[in-house]
Structure 1
Amino acid sequence: MLTIMLYLAIILLATKLLGDLFVRLGQPSVLGKLLAGILIGPAVLGWIHPNEFISIFSEIGVLLLMFMAGLETDLDQLRKNWKSAFAVAVGGIILPFVGGYGAAVLFGLSNNQSLFLGLLLCATSVSISVQTLKEMNRLNTREGTTILGAAVVDDVIVVVMLAVMMSLLGTGHDISLGLLIGKKVLFFIVAIVVGWLAVPWFLKLFAPLRVTESVISGALIVCFALSYFADLMGVAAIIGAFAAGIAVSQTPFKHDVEDRLEPIAYSIFVPVFFVSIGLNITFEGVTSQLVFMIVISIVAILTKLLGGGLGARMTGFNTRSSLAIGSGMISRGEVALIIAATGLESGLLLQKYFTSVVIVVIVTTLVTPLMLKLLFTDGKTDGDQASVSE
C-alpha cells in the first residue's frame, strides 16, 4: 500500500510539472505527460515499474478519456462524416499492412511473421489523439469526428483480420469467423438500442436517488458496463466507453456529467494512463536492432499518415485537413500492444523483436501529438470553414 501511495505521488507530480513545461514550450501537455513515464520509468530513473496497480488505473484512465470523448462528440457531425470515416479507416489499414509486410520481408522475417507485422501496423488507438484535440479545442470539428469514427471502423476490421490470420496460420483452429463477426454486429446493435432507449431511462430513474453524486455514478455504471460488454464481444473496451459517452450525451445530464467527471479523471486516472505508456520502454539490448526500429517506425508513421490522409482527401477534405486526419490515426497505443502480445504467444512475433515493436508503438504515440499540433496550427482546415456537403 505504501508503494502505491508513493507511485501516485511521483506520477502526479511528474505529469503535472512536465505537462506544464510543454505547454509553456508551445506543445500539447500530453507530450510532456508521455515523456514523464519514460523519465520516471525503467528507461531512465527507474523510480516506477509496471505492475498490476498501474495496469488497472491506466485501464480506467483510458476508458474515462474515451467516455469523455463520446460526451463531447457531435452525433450529427459523426453521421455526416461516416463515409469519410470508413475511407480513412480502410486507407489506414491497406497502406500499413502492405508497408509493414514489405519492410519485414526486407529484414528477413518469414512470410507468416511478415504478415503479422503488417497486421500489427494496421492498429489505431486514438486515446492520445483525443486528448491532444481536446487541448486544442478541435475534438468536435469535422476532422475530429472523422478520426473518432475511423478509429471505431479500424478496430472492428483489424480484430476480424487478426482472427482470420490466427486461423489461417494454424494458431487458432477453433476460431469461427462467422461467430466473430456476429459478436461484433451484436455489440453495435445492443449499443445503439441501449444508448437510444435504456440509458436515458436508467439515468432518469437513477439520478433522483437520495445518495451523493448519483448522476455521475449512474453515468459511470453505463460507461463500465458497455466497456465490459464490448470487450466480451471482441471489440476494444475503449469503443464501448466511447459509445457510452455518446449515449449519455443525448440525455439532459450531459453537462452535469462532464463537469463532475473531468476532475475525477484528470486528477488521478488519466495521468496514470499516460505514464503507463512510457513505462513500457527499456533500452536494454536494443542497439542491435536500431535499424529495424528506425525503419519500422518510419513505415508505421508514413503509411498511416498517407493512408488515412488519402481516404480523407478522396471524400472531400482539403490537403491540410487530410494530413491532420491521417496524423490523428498514427498512434498504435494499447491496441497494438495487445496484438503484439498475441503474436508473441502464438509465435508470429519473435521474442527478440518484441521490445523493438513496443518501442515502435510508443514512438508512434509520441509523434502523434506533435504532428496534430503542427497541422492544426497556423493553417486552415475544413473545421475552420463551412462544412463540405456530403
Structure 2
Amino acid sequence: MVFEAILYIAVLLISAKLLGELLYRINQPRIIGNVLAGIIVGPALFFLVQPIDAIELFISIGVFFLFFLIGLEEIDLPGLVRVMRGRIFAGSLAGFFIPFFAASFFGLSLDMNFIQAFAIGSVIGASSLGVAAKVLTDLGKLRSTIGLEIFTVTAIIEFIAIILTSVLIQINTSDAPNVSEFLWLFAKMGIFFAVAGLLAVFALPKVFRIIHSHLRAQQVYFGLVIGVILLVAYFAEISGIHGAIGALLLGIAVSRMNREEYLEISKNVNAVGYGIFIPMFFAGIGLHFTTKFVEIDLWIIAGFIGIIVGVKFIGSYIAVKIAKMRPATTVAYGVMSKGAVDLALMLSLLQVNMLDDSLFSLLVLGTLITMIISSVELQRKLKKIVQVKVGSVEIGMLPIFFRRTVSDKRAQDAMSIDFQKTKPNVSVKNFLNSDIDPKEETMVIDDDGRLIGIVSKKELNNVHKKSRDVALISDIMEKKFHTVIPQDYIFSVIQKMNSHHFEMIPVIEPGFSGKIVGIVSSKTLLNLLAETKPPNPSTKS
C-alpha cells in the first residue's frame, strides 16, 4: 500500500507539473493544467491515480501553503482597513454580494438548506488574484493604476469569501446550530485572531530573528518556518476555525516583517509550496472531478454556469462602476477572475459533505470556464490600452480615445474656476486655521489678481508649529512653476503638469497680465480623458 501511494504521488505530481507547463506556454494559468492533470490521470478518465489517504494529506498541506502565501503576498490588511468606508469597499461588496445572492437564491430554489445555499453562493461570489496577477505581470502592468485597482477590489472580495465560507463550514459542523452557538463561533474566531495576531506580529518575528541568527544550517530555519505554518493551521482547526484561515492570518503577519526576512521566507515557502504541495492540491481537485454532473437537469447546469460566468461579470462591472475605476470593462474582467481560492473553498465544502460529487464537478467546470474567459479577455483588453500619466496618477485609455482628446480638447475644456487661493502676506498659522477645503492639496497665491506663486498643503504642514505665527505664505511659496492659457491643447497641459511636482497647473489670461482665471488639476484632466467618447465612424470631418 505504501509503494502504491508513492506511485500515485509520483504520477500525479509529474502530470500536474507537465500539464501546468503546457498551459503556461499557451498563455493560460498553470492552475488549469494542474486540475486537468488530476482529471486525466484520475477516476474521471484513465483511473491511474485514486484519491487515497496519502493523496488527501498532500492536498490538505497544499491548502495550508496556498493560504499562507495568499496572506503573505496578496492580502494587504492595513490597505484593506484604509478603504473600508470608501467607494472601493462599497464596490467590492457589490462585486461579491451580487453573484452571492444570485447563487444562494438559485440554490434555495433547488431545495437546498440555507447553510448549503449560502456556502455555494460564497464560493461563486469569490474572486481570486492568481490569474489576474499572472496576466498583469506578463504584460508589465502589475504596478500600473489598472493593476493596483484590480488587486485592491479582488483582494477585498477574496478576503470576504474566505471568512464567510469558513464561518458557514463551522456552522454546518454543528449538530443543531442556534444563536448562542453562532455567537460563540464568532467569539472563538475573534479570540483566535486576537491571540494569533498578537503572537504573529510581536512574538514570531523576534523568534524567527533569534533562530535565524543562532542557527548555522539554513535548512533548520526553513524547516522551523514550515513547522510553524502547520502548527498554526492545527491550532486553528482545534479552535473551531478552518486551518486555512490560521495559515492566512500567519501569512498576513509575516508579510509585515522587514524586507530581507520577508523575501527569504517567501522564496523558500514558494519553492516547496508551488514546487510540490500546491500543484498536488490542484491536481487533487481534478481527482475528485466526475462526469456525473451531466446527469443533472440541463436547466440547473445552465443556471449555475450562467451565474458563475455571466452574473459574476455583471457584479464585477457594477463593482467597478461604483468604485469609479476606468476603463470599467477591462478592470471588471480582472475583478471577475477566479482560481486558487475558489477551488480551495470548493474542495473544503466537498470534504465536509456540503457539496456532492456532481455539484462539485459542475462548479469546478464553471470556475475553469471563468478563469479562461477572464484571462483571455483581460489580456486582449490590456493590450489595447495605453497608460496616460497625469501628475502622480494614471488612467488606462484606448489609443483612439487619447488621440481624440489631445487633438481636439484645450485647457479651457478641463479648467475649473473653483479653486483655493490666498494672499502672500498671510501667516501660515492663520491660513491653516481658516476655512480651507480639506480636499484641496495645492493653493495659488495672488496679489491683487496677479498670480505670483503656488504652495502645497504638505509644505504648509511641514512648517514648525512654533514658526507658523511669523512665517508668511510668501516665505514658503514656490515661485517657479508652469502655467497654461485657456487655448493650450490638452497634450501640452499634460506635459507641463508632469514636469513639475504639483497636482494642478494655473490657467492665466493670454498676455503679460498674469491674471489667473482657473486651474487644471489631475482630477479635472482625468475626468475629461475618461469621459471622451470615441469618434463616430459615420461622421465626416
Q: 1:228 Cα deviation (Å)?
A: 2.8
% identity of equivalent residues: 23
Give the greater-gyration-radius structure (CA).
2
Does the aligned pair in 1 maintain the 2:130–2:340 contact within 8 Å? no
Distance 1:343 1:300 in 2: 21
Task: Please tell me whether the aligned partners of residues 68 and 247 of structure 2 are also in contact (alpha carbons under 8 angstroms).
Answer: yes
Are the aligned partners of 1:121 and 1:300 in contact in 2 as well (CA < 8 Å)?
no
**Given the alignment, which residue of 363, 366, 379 partners 1:361?**
363
Using the alignment, how far apart are the partners of 1:165 and 1:74 within structure 2? Answer: 27
Instruction: Give 2:357's aligned amino acid.
Output: T
Partners of 2:225 and 2:127 in 1: how far apart? 20
Selected match of 1:246 from 245, 248, 252: 252
Distance 2:241 2:318 in 1: 26
- Mapped pair 1:121 → 2:129: no
Moved beyond 6 Å, runs of 4+: 125-128, 162-167, 381-385
Where do 1:1-390 residues align within 5 Å? 1-73=2-74, 75=76, 77-82=79-84, 86-87=89-90, 90-104=93-107, 109-110=110-111, 113=113, 116-123=116-123, 129-130=129-130, 133-134=133-134, 136-137=136-137, 138=142, 141-160=148-167, 171-173=176-178, 176-207=181-212, 208-251=214-257, 252-284=260-292, 286-318=294-326, 319=328, 320-328=330-338, 332-339=342-349, 342=352, 354-380=356-382, 386=393
| 1:283 to 1:10, Cα distance in 2 relative to 1, 3 A | same
The alpha carbon displacement at 1:316 in A equals 3.4
Question: Aligned to 2:297, what secondary structure does the other structure show?
Answer: helix
Alignment CA distance shift 1:43-1:357 (3 Å)? same
Q: Deviations over 1:94-150 (max 9, x none)?
A: 3334323443466xx33x547733442222697964366257534984422432333
Distance 1:30 1:123, change over 3 A: closer
Secondary structure of 2:122's partner? coil
CA positional deviation for 1:164: 6.8
Q: Secondary structure at the match of 1:195?
A: helix
Aligned CA distance change for structure 1 residues 165 and 27 (closer, same or farther; 3 Å): closer
Deviation at 1:332, TM superposition (A): 3.3
Moved more, 212-221 or 275-284: 212-221
Q: Using the TM superposition, give the Cα deviation of residue 275 of structure 1 relative to its aligned residue in structure 2, in angstroms.
A: 0.5
Q: Distance in 2 between matches of 1:273 and 1:34?
A: 9
Q: TM-score, normalization: structure 1?
A: 0.81
Gaps of 5+ in 1: none
User: Which SS does the other structure have where 1:43 is aligned?
Assistant: coil
Paired AA for residue 32 in structure 1: G
Structure 1 CA distance for aligned equivalents of residues 127 and 269 of structure 2: 17
Question: Could you state the TM-score of these two structures normalised by the residue count of structure 2?
Answer: 0.60
Is the 1:142–1:383 Cα contact (8 Å) retained in structure 2? no
Structure 2 CA distance for aligned equivalents of residues 253 and 262 of structure 1: 14
Larger strand proportion of the pair? 2
Look up the equivalent residue of 1:177 and give its one-letter code: F
Shift of residue 229 of structure 1? Answer: 3.6
The letter of the residue matching 2:36 is L
SS at match of 1:27: coil
Q: Whole-Å Cα distance in 1 between the matches of residues 5 and 172 of structure 2?
A: 40
CA positional deviation for 1:234: 4.2
Preserved CA contact (<8 Å) 1:18 1:33:
yes
Give the C-alpha shift of residue 312 in structure 1: 4.2
Which structure has more relative contact order (CA 8 Å, sep 6+)? It is 1
Deviates more, 1:271-280 or 1:209-218: 209-218
**Structure 2 CA distance for partners of 1:87 and 1:374, relative to 1, 3 Å:** farther
CA 1:248/1:327 → structure 2, altered by over 3 Å: closer, same or farther?
Answer: same
Give the deviation of 1:197 after TM superposition. Answer: 0.5
Rate the CA distance shift 1:185–1:314 in 2: closer, same or farther, 3 A.
Answer: farther
Quote how far apart the aligned CAs of 1:38 are: 0.8
Q: Secondary structure at the match of 1:327?
A: coil
Distance (whole Å) between structure 1 residues aligned to residue 12 and residue 79 of structure 2? 36
Q: Which residue of 1 aligns with 2:535?
A: none
SS of the aligned residue for 1:123 comes to helix
Give the length in aligned residue pairs: 376
User: Over residues 350-371 of structure 1, what are the superposed CA-to-partner deviations in whole Å (9 max), with x where a residue is unaligned?
Assistant: xxxx233111221233134323
The offset of 1:249, in angstroms, is: 2.6
1:372 to 1:288, Cα distance in 2 relative to 1, 3 A: closer
Structure 1 residues 105, 212: closer, same or farther in 2, change over 3 A? closer
Give the deviation of 1:233 after TM superposition.
4.2
Q: Distance in 2 between matches of 1:93 and 1:256?
A: 34
- 1:158 & 1:62 partners in 2: Cα distance? 15
AA aligned opposite 2:120: L
Distance (whole Å) between structure 2 residues aligned to residue 326 and residue 383 of structure 1: 22
Amino acid corresponding to residue 122 of structure 2 in structure 1? C
1:264-294, CA deviations, whole angstroms, 9 ceiling, x for partnerless residues?
A: 2222212211100111112247335344223
Question: In 2, Cα distance between the equivalents of 1:105 and 1:218?
Answer: 46
What is the DSSP-based 3-state SS (H/G/I as helix, E as strand, rest coil) of the residue aligned with 1:48?
A: coil
AA aligned to 1:90 is: L
RMSD of aligned C-alpha atoms?
3.7
- For 2:337 and 2:97, locate their aligned partners in 1 and report how far apart those are by CA, in whole Å: 16
Structure 1 CA distance for aligned equivalents of residues 221 and 127 of structure 2: 25
Greater helix proportion: 1
Taking a change above 3 Å as real, the CA distance of residues 201 and 134 of structure 1, as seen in their structure-2 partners, is: farther
